[in-house]
Amino acid sequence: MLTSVTGINWGDEGKGRVIDLLAENADIVVRYQGGNNAGHTVVTNQGKFVLNLLPSGILHSDVICILGDGMVVVDLEHLANEIKQIEDRGIQINPKHLKLSKKATISMPWHRVQDELEENRLERTGSAFGSTRRGIAYAYSDKYRKKTLRLGDLLHLDDTAVQARLKTILESKNLELAGCYHQEPMSYPALLDWCREQAEKFSKYICDTGTFIDKALSCGKKVILEAQLGALRDIDYGIFPYTSSSSTISAYGPIGAGIPGRHADHVVGVLKAYSTCVGAGPFVAENAVSEKWQQDLRAAGGEFGAATGRPRRVGPFDAVASRYGLRCQHADKIALTKLDVLSSMKEIPIITGYNDPNGSLVEFDPTDNLDSCTPVIYKVPGWEEDISHCRTFDELPANAKNYIKTIEDMLHAEINFISVGAKRDEYLLKGEWL
């Protein structure tokens, strides 16, 4: 069975939490796009883990984790450090447990540098995109310009063709960095040494992961595809140019995983019980409430970027944007996270529509001038009590059940998973789950 877990909104919906739960009964978990700009948080008995590159199934010793074809394996030094941090906390990682696709794109030493330099330049003009400054956009750009290496190339560094291509790439990149940003050029011997160092660290992990996954599915294994960010940050369907540099859409999952001939049996769409936004760009929800409301919610929900530490932009649940995200992801199962964060509120706002200078909008369109939109608010009564002990839907307070039912009616879909606390077992299921 092939299951894709995707974000419905702007990212940071709680996908790591859902994947960690599903991984208990899975054989393989695959990251299929993005890089170490992801920040998937999992809380276990061993504490809180923030995963940037490693799939969220890495905490399960019997689950094979894969970085798939569609990834830019950003900052191999970061991957090495992340592996060490996990191992230092008692989680064993080896080539049987972790596999890296030969086709995944390497982020070269200059990508993070270039990202930092350009974002600093844009900040001075007020035009920054809100980049994580980890080189993602530049790694993807060079992938499509054919000016970078793939992981499989690390296995053939003595080949004349690989070395010739490396020299060509370096010449081009030095022209960019020296000419545009006045940086010191990198030497070919230093670059080759860097590549050899990475090959020594990671060659034992690199293999044809697509064939491995395809064979596993043919043998009846359970495979989970893990997305980074959400539909509203997709390069094609998100709020351009305030997007990620890759496809966050479930339909891309099999392609990015290395199994383009397959399709997902289930798509789990993950939503927060309120709205949070990763990065810059239009975000109608933050105009719905006061700064005090935002500060209180941010504090209650720990809304600071898992990858960056930046305070997240927050607001009420946005039914308009969420309907669009659900349509993009074509989710047949829905997970709602962080319901417990709303437990102290006397009244809870929900965004039911947008107003703009031309009238009312009920359908989300990322190409609209969203900055000119004002939210239409509907308020429901809060429950003002702790719900972390609830393990069935019937145990929830009446107003909490009403909140969920209201959201379901606005989404025209049933919510199947509800988290009521940060701990691994603080959730409940409703209806038919996986």
Structural domains in the chain plus CATH codes: 2-104+205-268 (3.40.440.10), 106-203 (1.10.300.10), 271-429 (3.90.170.10)
Which pLDDT belongs to residue 34? 86
**What percent of the chain shows pLDDT beyond 90?**
71
Contact 327, 249 (CB under 8 A): no
Whether 125 shows a pLDDT value over 80: the answer reads no
Per the prediction, the chain carries an average pLDDT of 92
Given the residues 20, 40, 60, 340, the one annotated as active site: 40
- Confidence band, pLDDT 50/70/90 cuts, at residue 26: very high
- Confidence band, pLDDT 50/70/90 cuts, at residue 129: low
**For residues 387 and 304, which has the higher predicted lDDT (pLDDT)?**
387
Over residues 406-433, mean pLDDT: 96
Phi/psi region, residue 364 (left: phi>0; alpha: psi -120 to 50; beta: rest), is beta
Catalytic residue status for 265: no
Over residues 92-110, mean pLDDT: 93
- Confidence band, pLDDT 50/70/90 cuts, at residue 208: very high
Q: How far is CA 398 from the centre of its chain?
A: 33
What are the structure tokens assigned to 84, written together?
Answer: 């060490």
Max Cα distance, the chain (Å): 70
Nearest to residue 293, comparing CAs of 377, 405, 409? 377
Whether 427 shows a pLDDT value over 80: the answer reads yes
CA torsion through residues 95, 33, 8, 46, sign: positive
**For residues 63 and 114, which has the higher predicted lDDT (pLDDT)?**
63
- Confidence band, pLDDT 50/70/90 cuts, at residue 361: confident
Burial class (CB within 10 angstroms; exposed 0-12, middle 13-18, buried 19+) of 66: buried
Rounded Cα distance, 100 and 381, in Å: 49
Which pLDDT belongs to residue 106? 92
Whether 196 shows a pLDDT value over 70: the answer reads yes
- Confidence band, pLDDT 50/70/90 cuts, at residue 248: very high
Residues near 374 by Cβ (< 8 Å), separated by ≥ 6? Answer: 284, 287, 354, 355, 356
The one-letter amino acid code at 235 reads: I
Whether 233 shows a pLDDT value over 90: the answer reads yes
Which pLDDT belongs to residue 385? 96
Q: Are strands 313-315 and 275-277 parallel, antiparallel or unpaired?
A: antiparallel
Rounded Cα distance, 5 and 329, in Å: 9
- Confidence band, pLDDT 50/70/90 cuts, at residue 267: very high
Catalytic residue status for 60: no
Which pLDDT belongs to residue 375? 96
Which pLDDT belongs to residue 130? 65
Which pLDDT belongs to residue 360? 83
Q: What is the pTM of this model?
A: 0.92
**What percent of the chain shows pLDDT beyond 70?**
97
Task: Please count the other Cβ atoms lying within 10 Å of the Cβ belonging to residue 271.
Answer: 26
Residues near 213 by Cβ (< 8 Å), separated by ≥ 6? Answer: 28, 30, 66, 68, 223, 257, 258, 259
Contact 31, 53 (CB under 8 A): yes
- Confidence band, pLDDT 50/70/90 cuts, at residue 306: low
* Secondary structure letter of residue 247 according to DSSP: -
Per residue in 50-80, pLDDT (tens digit) is: 888 898 889 888 999 999 999 987 678 889 9
Over residues 376-389, mean pLDDT: 97
Whether 230 shows a pLDDT value over 70: the answer reads yes
Which pLDDT belongs to residue 183? 85
Beta strands in 149-205, from DSSP E residues, in sequence order: none
**For residues 276 and 118, which has the higher predicted lDDT (pLDDT)?**
276
Which pLDDT belongs to residue 307? 59
Whether 416 shows a pLDDT value over 90: the answer reads yes
Over residues 296-318, mean pLDDT: 86
